[in-house]
Amino acid sequence: MIPFSQIIAQYKPALMNQYQDQLLPSHFHALNALADCRTQDSMLMKARCESCLYETYFLHSCGHRFCPHCQHHECQQWIERQRQKRTPVDYFMVTVTLPSQLRPLAWNN
């Protein structure tokens, strides 16, 4: 899987050229956090085995709520909780087309 930081590095200049005036400070914060996640620009995390005292360093995660690397586990847990809430019946998706006269009513409600 391609790291998200590589995607941001590749497309961030084009994004900034086109949308820089429309982005909020929180968007810049998210982009910067995700761009540095698990890269050489991120902090290092030290891990040590208590048995043999072996120490090693890992690239630190950003922990941002929109980061696909950092939040994957939490997302999977949420999906599992939602699955457990379902009733034991078959589910079906029904699609209907509203007449044009009723569409404004549906959109507003």
**22, part of any domain:** no
Give the torsion through C-alpha atoms of 59, 65, 66, 72, to 10 deg.
70
Domain count, the chain: 1
33-54 tens-digit pLDDT: 888 887 777 778 888 999 999 9
Specify if 7 maps to a domain.
no
What residue numbers bound the domain in which 48 lies?
A: 42-71
Question: Widest CA span of the chain, in angstroms?
Answer: 73
Indicate the DSSP class of residue 56. E
Q: What is the Cα Rg of the chain in Å?
A: 22
The candidate with the shortest Cα–Cα distance to 70, out of 30, 105, 106, is: 30
Residue 3 included in any domain: no
- Report if residue 50 sits inside a domain: yes
pLDDT digits (tens, 9 = 90+) for 62-104: 888 888 878 888 888 989 999 999 988 998 999 999 999 999 9
Model pTM?
Answer: 0.55
Residue 59 within a domain: yes
